[in-house]
Amino acid sequence: MPMMFAADRLGAKDRGCVSGHRLTVEAQIRTWEAFGCGHVSEISDPTREGADLGAAVARFDDRLPPIIEGQAFAHHRPRADNIGLRTLLLTIIAAAGCCAQAPLPGQALPQALFALREMDMHLHAGFERQVDMNAWIDLAVADGRRVLVLLDHLELYRPSRKAREYKAGYPLGSEGHKALMADFDGVAKRPGLIVFKGWEIFEGELDTGVESEPMRLADVIGWHISPNSEGNAPDGRSLIKRVRQIKEIQKTFPVPMIVFHPFDMRLEKVQRAARLQGRELKTLTAADYRFFQPGEQQELIGLLAGSSVYIEIGNSTARYFQDPVCRQALIADIRPLAEGGVQFTASTDNHSLANARIPFRPEEYDHALGVTVFNTNTIVRELLALRARRAALRD
Binding residues vs Zn ion (CB under 5 A): 200, 349
The answer to whether 378 and 347 have CB atoms below 8 angstroms apart is no
What's the half-sphere exposure (Cβ side, CA atoms, 13 Å) at 39?
Answer: 25
Distance in Å, CB of 200 to Zn ion, minimum: 5
Of residues 200 and 235, the one with the C-beta less far from Zn ion: 200
Considering the complex, what minimum distance in angstroms separates the CB of residue 347 from Zn ion?
8
Amino acid at the residue 241: K
Beta pairing partners, 60? none
Q: Which is nearer to Zn ion, 327 or 351 (CB)?
A: 351
Minimum distance from CB of 341 to Zn ion (Å)? 25
Nearer to Zn ion (CB atom), residue 124 or residue 177: 124
Shortest distance in whole angstroms from residue 126 CB to Zn ion: 11
**Helices and strands (DSSP H and E) totals, the chain:** 19, 7
Of 335 and 351, which CB lies nearer to Zn ion in the complex structure?
351
Is the distance from CB of 129 to CB of 152 less than 8 angstroms?
no
Q: How far is the CB of 258 from Zn ion (least distance, A)?
A: 10
Measuring CA to CA, how many Å separate 257 from each of 11, 207, 264?
43, 17, 18
| Cβ-based neighbours of 212, under 8 Å, separated by 6 or more | 252, 253
Looking at the Cβ atoms of 26 and 200, the one nearer to Zn ion is 200
CA separation for the pair 136, 152 (Å, rounded): 14
Task: For the sheet with 344-347, list strands across it.
Answer: 119-124, 147-151, 194-202, 220-224, 257-260, 309-314, 344-347
26 secondary structure, DSSP code: H
Question: Closer CB to Zn ion, residue 198 or residue 370?
Answer: 198
Nearer to Zn ion, 127 or 291 (CB): 127
Strands 220-224 and 257-260, bridge-based pairing: parallel
CB of 57 to Zn ion, least distance (A): 52
Q: How far apart are CA 321 and CA 331, in angstroms?
A: 10
